Amino acid sequence: MGMGGLIVYGLLIQQLEWLMTPPRSEAWAICLGAALAFLWYTARKGFPATTRISLITGIGTGFGFAFGNFLQIVGMVAEIPFNMWNVMEYSIGFFGGIALAYGIFTSVWPQTVSPVKAWENRVAFVLVFLVIPFVVFQQSLSFDPVIERFRTGAAVVQPELTGKISSISSLIILVISAALIGYRLKKVHTGFNVGDIRFVFIVYFSVYILFGYIINGVMGGKAALNIHLYVVNLIVILMLTRIQGSPFSSHPLLQVDSRKLFKVLVAVILFITVMSFIAVNLHEGLPGTQNRF
């Protein structure tokens, strides 16, 4: 996958100079090469379920990206007072998640599961619940970034004081959440059950929601509308996770239905083409919109 990413990046970016949205990163080409190498490996080594899920999820996520970008352009042109970047990102996750779930629930899986070694769980815990949250904290919630954000964007009355309180609160939340998850997972010896997974998910998602409120200035009396929707998402997800069995009526399949998948891909491409035609005719240019922040 690493070599595939380097080869495709060298071909598309360095040789052909197919740049997406300068000055943003062109790491998409590395992801494309890694994905193609992954598909080649799974198809050649005989992992049909993995290949099938990868293709279905790729189509769903690609559609979500394009549809989200269409909604983003429409929202910007209509001057809707909402963060349209969040709308696009939500669209990617929504359609990509549905495609991933469909692929998993409608595929045949082997019943034998190899036991996970203790050191693997420890490394995963450190990476997921300590390293990644710490990087998020250092980049977005430490003193300087928070105070600068409150001075320029959030319009908080006392940016220095509010920023310090917000940063310290974030660190406390981060430590408590890691301790809670670590204590819960420490009791796991043979494997994770549904309760363990639900507990980790609720804590992790709740921390993300709290960080969203804090970084948008809740300590200074500010709260963005899109953050409230995260709470709604959590409630809906918790309700849906109580459903037993597969939510899809299709019978599980082992092999990739190439003909059906090709028809879906063509339909998605045609729909994206129509959306692109509409989007480019809605405006005469949106300068600066390639910059996320």
Residue 201 forms part of a structural domain: yes
Mean pLDDT by 10 residues, the chain (293 residues): 95 92 85 94 90 93 95 90 86 94 85 73 86 87 84 74 89 92 79 83 92 84 78 89 71 78 95 94 78 60
Overall domain count for the chain:
3
For 64, residues 6+ apart whose C-beta sits below 8 A from its C-beta are 91, 92, 93, 94, 95, 96
Per-residue confidence (pLDDT) for residue 189, from 0 to 100: 64
**Residue 70: CA atoms inside 13 Å, Cβ hemisphere, count?**
17
For 93, residues 6+ apart whose C-beta sits below 8 A from its C-beta are 64
Burial 185-212 (b: 16+ CB within 10 A, else e): beeeeeeeeeeeeebbeebebebebbbb
- Mean pLDDT computed over every residue of the chain: 86
Angle between helices 194-215 and 225-240 (to 10 degrees): 170
Per-residue confidence (pLDDT) for residue 250, from 0 to 100: 63
Helix (H, G, I), strand (E, B) or coil at 107: strand
Per-residue confidence (pLDDT) for residue 159, from 0 to 100: 81
Do residues 211 and 261 share a domain?
Answer: no
Do residues 19 and 58 share a domain?
Answer: no
Per-residue confidence (pLDDT) for residue 291, from 0 to 100: 66
Expressed as residue numbers, the domain containing 199 is: 118-245
**Residue 14: CA atoms inside 13 Å, Cβ hemisphere, count?**
9
Whole-prediction pTM: 0.79
Helix (H) or strand (E) holding 151, with range, is helix 143-152
Do residues 71 and 1 share a domain?
Answer: no
Q: What is the CA radius of gyration of the chain?
A: 22
**Spatial distance between the Cα atoms of 43 and 180, rounded to a whole number of angstroms:** 40
Per-residue confidence (pLDDT) for residue 290, from 0 to 100: 63
Per-residue confidence (pLDDT) for residue 118, from 0 to 100: 75
Do residues 52 and 41 share a domain?
Answer: no
pLDDT in tens, 184-211: 888 776 667 788 888 999 999 999 899 8
Residue 112 forms part of a structural domain: no
Do residues 87 and 159 share a domain?
Answer: no
Do residues 53 and 127 share a domain?
Answer: no
